[in-house]
Amino acid sequence: MAAAMPLALVVLLLLGPGGPARAESPRDSLREELVITPLPSGDVAATFQFRIRWDSELQREGDTDHYFLRYAVLPREVVCTENLTPWKKLLPCSSKAGLSVLLKADRLFHTRYHSQAVHIRPICRNARCTSISWELRQTLSVVFDAFITGQGKKDWSLFRMFSRTLTEPCPLASESRVYVDITNYSQDNETVEVNPPPTTTYEDVILGTRRTYAVYDLLDTAMINNSRNLNLQLKWKKPPENEAPPVPFLHAQRYVSGYGLQKGELSTLLYNTHPYRAFPVLLLDSVPWYLRLYVHTLTITSKGKENKPSYIHYQPAQDRLQPHLLEMLIQLPANSVTKVSIQFERALLKWTEYTPDPNHGFYISPSVLSALVPSMVAAKPVDWEGSPLFNTLFPVSDGSSYFVRLYTEPLLVNLPTPDFSMPYNVICLTCTVVAVCYGSFYNLLTRTFHIEEPSTGGLAKRLANLIRRARGVPPL
Amino acid sequence: MAAAHCFGRASTALAALLLLSFGSFAASQIEDQAEQFFRSGHTNNWAVLVCTSRFWFNYRHVANTLSVYRSVKRLGIPDSHIVLMLADDMACNPRNPKPATVFSHKNMELNVYGDDVEVDYRSYEVTVENFLRVLTGRIPPSTPRSKRLLSDDRSNILIYMTGHGGNGFLKFQDSEEITNIELADAFEQMWQKRRYNELLFIIDTCQGASMYERFYSPNIMALASSQVGEDSLSHQPDPAIGVHLMDRYTFYVLEFLEEINPASQTNMNDLFQVCPKSLCVSTPGHRTDLFQRDPKNVLITDFFGSVRKVEITTETISLQQYSEMESSYKEDQMDEELMEPLKYAEQLPVAQIIHQKPKLKDWHPPGGFILGLWALIIMVFFKTYGIKHMKFIF
């Protein structure tokens, strides 16, 4: 089932000296790659990444050393094919050739998890940053449920996941590769078999652990020769041992507590499961204005003691204009749970501001956690241009930690909802009361009574009397 | 004498025959020209397709709108000329057993949602206000292009609406209604602003004919699925999905449109006959008194497709090479070779965040309220204790 993720577009403009540049990067280049990671549960995670880089003719004077950040989020947007279509249109080969052939909506949305993103950033081409290139990265991550797609078996293949196979690389791409994560199975050939056998492997420290990937290069003519298509398959020779995956060093949860429709409390739990290292986390919360936060009730506790953040920035909300913005840098002690909680009061909206289905509730956007998590294995400094795209999305120059951006779950709160049928009820009742009470009084006071002589009857009565006289009966 | 007469008669007969043939040839030419004259004078096509119902059990209204969208796109109108408004999401609704699909036929034969659908107004954005703003063009300047109806006076516009309606109104999203008078006034605004050449209005709701009763602008043709006092019925439920998939009228219109291709010469009279009472149970109605051309001269593709008259030219155009850009790129390349490789900026500069200088708050003079409050306090004080204290204060 597709999990509807909030669509957050973060445009981070880094205007400062920083950015990779190599003398031989072509004028505009496209690199595409697909990373397939089989998960211990049997599900398969697939991440597409497309990077387009082009030179900009703009010349900039001097060195501006400041950061601009605008944060806007739509808490609830159902992500479906109508979001995928404009995303695909940004790709140069646009689902006709290369890896984007696999982007078929009916398979991508029948998944446990679906996430799409567009990242744009400028890169300085020289030290003084007077000429820049732009980098556009598009990422799409899906997690396929083994039982829905695999019909119960844990083997997977590209055809089974995407109902398509790879045929030709995108002619505009300078690099087009598929990486399959075979970290746990590269030692022996007895648990798993990957078909066709990979020509090369790639080993690196990704997200703090050493990982091995089988590499399939679509631009390598030997790859797609006989059958004109590439269908990667993975077969399990032995049933995989169901071991629990390792707990990540940083994870978070968020929930609303309290009762009633007046007050509540918003709590975020941050878990640091590293046995001995503490690290800082930047927590960004954007709460809509109709939850009036009481900032004096903001408490941060770790291991039972109060934890004072190293940096707090709070921008209060203005009704109907802007939401609350709360940004804190919190040091998470090793092996602990940190609870950040704040109380709020729910506001009453004007009746035209309610959505057509207000009893569903109102969504609160997730908090964003950014952290440099210490790695288990130190990474050696790499050449950014040569390494695959998934390594350079959030590159960190210091190899002892890796950068992670987490989103907590979006929340649903009920606001005090009026009864929308009341205007109709009031009109009916008032009109009835006015008609019955005032109307009766009005009639009694203004009605005049006069006696009306009965009419002597018309022709019919005379005819009837004639007949009655003939019969001998008294007349009418 | 008789021979001469015969000859004369034969010659006159021959002359008459020649004249007749000439005349018929000329007449057919004139007829052709007259037919050209009655062809539509539009140069572009637009479509505004609106589904006004929310909630899963109104799946059929979304399927109705998407099937018209599919036909209109298939016959040539591009996404940039279609304004699609869907009030709720059925394809990726958690209750949909087959995500990213919306079916119109039982047994899941036809997926009208498709692979490249572009929805312009979705979910809460489908309101009466937005619909009227799209029609009349009175949109805030920040509206993206895909949400605008950028038609001109040579545009043929197809407007399709479906949902729940009644006598004289159409319900939007269970919370507001649009009346037939508002709709007629919106069309009049469009006419006065020259926003359409001809307009085809199709509505598939209960008592749909009441919505076109009040139109008074020229060049509007209207179709409805049922008359006043009748309900439009839905077609068939699907046991796997659990809801009714389509409404009857639109189902038969879809079947009719599936046989149309961009070269078809089918005209509007065939569309009027699409769903007789035996199939539709309700009586579809139409209104053509405001339309200037005869419906039998109006092609279906005048509204549902985007058939252009193409003129082929044999001229050649030469494309120039951009030589000056290449030279500047070479300069940059030489520049770059001398530079050392640069790094990405820091993702989370913790030290910089912690040691930021606190921002100086600007001093603002006290506002009117504070000044008024102090003036009141001072006034009360002096009134109470007398003006003689003033020289001790100031």
Contact B327/A at CB under 8 A: no
CB distance A194 to A236 below 8 Å: no
Q: How far is A123 from chain B (nearest CA, A)?
A: 8
For A356, the closest of B173, B345, B350 (CB atoms) is B173
Classify A263 as helix, strand or coil. Answer: strand
* Least confident piece of the model among A50-64, A346-360, B197-211: A50-64
In angstroms, rounded to a whole number, what is the distance separating the alpha carbons of residues B36 and B27? 14
Residue range B306-320: average pLDDT? 81
Question: Residue B366 pLDDT > 50, yes or no?
Answer: yes
Q: How far is A106 from chain B (nearest CA, A)?
A: 5
Question: Residue B191 pLDDT > 80, yes or no?
Answer: yes
Contact A10/B at CB under 8 A: no
What is the structure's pLDDT at A10? 36
Q: How far is B325 from chain A (nearest CA, A)?
A: 9
Cα torsion A464, A466, A472, A473 to 10°: value is 30
Q: Which of A183, A182, A146 is nearest to A161 (CA)?
A: A146
CB within 8 Å: B99 and A110 = yes
Q: Which of B122, B79, B143 is nearest to A4 (CA)?
A: B122
Q: What is the pLDDT of residues A277-301, one digit of tens each?
A: 999 999 999 999 999 999 999 999 9
CB distance A78 to A109 below 8 Å: no
Angle between helices B128-136 and B180-192 (to 10 degrees): 20
B210: Cβ contacts below 8 Å, ≥ 6 apart = B165, B166, B167, B168, B180, B228
Classify B352 as helix, strand or coil. Answer: helix
Residues of B serving a catalytic function are 164, 206
Residues of chain B numbered 350-369 and touching chain A (CB < 8 Å): 350, 353-354, 356
For A110, the closest of B100, B116, B339 (CB atoms) is B100
**Beta strand pairing status for B121-122 and B82-86?**
parallel
Q: Which one has a higher pLDDT value, A113 or A191? A: A113
Residues of chain B numbered 116-145 and touching chain A (CB < 8 Å): 116-119, 122-124
Where on the phi/psi map is residue A204: left (φ > 0), alpha (ψ -120 to 50), or beta? Answer: beta
Residues of B in contact with A310 (CB under 8 A): 353-354
* Least confident piece of the model among A182-186, A256-260, B152-156, B179-183: A182-186
In angstroms, rounded to a whole number, what is the distance separating the alpha carbons of residues B195 and A411? 44
Contact B97/A at CB under 8 A: no
Q: Which of A87, A79, A74, A64 is nearest to A136 (CA)?
A: A87
Question: Residue B161 pLDDT > 90, yes or no?
Answer: yes
Residues of B in contact with A131 (CB under 8 A): 332
What is the structure's pLDDT at B378? 87
Classify B260 as helix, strand or coil. Answer: coil
CB within 8 Å: B350 and A372 = yes
Q: Which two tokens stand for residue A119?
A: 């990242």
**Beta strand pairing status for B155-162 and B44-51?**
parallel
Residues of B in contact with A402 (CB under 8 A): none
CB distance B232 to B208 below 8 Å: yes
Q: What is the pLDDT of residues B3-48, one digit of tens each?
A: 555 566 666 767 667 766 665 666 666 666 556 555 668 889 999 9
pTM for the structure as a whole: 0.80
B243: Cβ contacts below 8 Å, ≥ 6 apart = B56, B57, B59, B60, B237
What is the structure's pLDDT at B338? 39
Q: How far is B237 from chain A (nearest CA, A)?
A: 22
What is the structure's pLDDT at A39? 81
Sorting pLDDT into bands at 50, 70 and 90, what band is B83?
very high
Nearest CA in chain A to B116: A85
For B118, the closest of A82, A109, A356 (CB atoms) is A82
For chain A, give the percent of residues with pLDDT over 90: 42
Sign, CA dihedral A150-A98-B111-B150, equals positive
Nearest CA in chain A to B125: A355
Q: Which one has a higher pLDDT value, B324 or A57? A: A57
Residues, chain B: 394
B9: Cβ contacts below 8 Å, ≥ 6 apart = none
In angstroms, rounded to a whole number, what is the distance separating the alpha carbons of residues B306 and B148? 18
Contact B113/A at CB under 8 A: yes
In angstroms, rounded to a whole number, what is the distance separating the alpha carbons of residues B344 and A14? 10
In angstroms, rounded to a whole number, what is the distance separating the alpha carbons of residues B344 and B331? 24
Residues of chain B numbered 174-203 and touching chain A (CB < 8 Å): 174-175
Tell me the β-bridge partners of A233: A157, A195
Residue range B200-214: average pLDDT? 94
Contact B92/A at CB under 8 A: yes
What is the structure's pLDDT at B71? 93
Residue range A304-309: average pLDDT? 92
